[in-house]
Amino acid sequence: MSRSTPSLSRNHPKSYDYLLKFLLVGDSDVGKQEILSGLDDGSQESPFCGSSGVAYKTTTILLDGKRIKLQLWFSSGQGRFSTIIRSYSRGAQGIILVYDITNKWSFDGIDRWLTEVEE
């Protein structure tokens, strides 16, 4: 007779109250990676960044006494909101449009990104 293994979720309560997932989208070289690098507070990095071109970083913040696990996702070097990003966007609570303030073309591209996101 075999015994079933108890679920890990019953043994380990969640370390957060809410999970929020956001996507960073914008042209190449506008600073999406730098935004993720700025989370230098013990956050965890995506284990698959190099192979798929998609990366995320996770950190937990405290807001109004609630622990919020924040996931920031982005695609490096993508010229458009590709099929890969569409699949990762499922379940996202929001999209953050990123542009380089020193590059007018990247700012002008925000309308293009809005169109891609809305499709």
pLDDT digits (tens, 9 = 90+) for 46-100: 554 555 667 788 888 899 999 999 988 887 655 555 666 677 777 889 999 999 9
Is the pTM here over 0.95, yes or no?
no
Got the DSSP string for 54-97? EEEEEEEEEETTEEEEEEEEEETT-SS--HHHHHHHTT-SEEEE
Smallest CA-to-CA distance from 73 within 115, 35, 30, 116 is with: 35
DSSP state of 50: H
From edge to edge, which strands make up the β-sheet containing 54-63? 44-45, 54-63, 66-75, 18-25, 94-97
Distance of alpha carbon 55 from alpha carbon 88, whole angstroms: 10
Q: Are 26 and 97 contacting, i.e. CB atoms less than 8 angstroms apart?
A: yes
Intra-chain end-to-end CA distance of the chain, in Å: 53
| More confident: 14 or 10 | 14
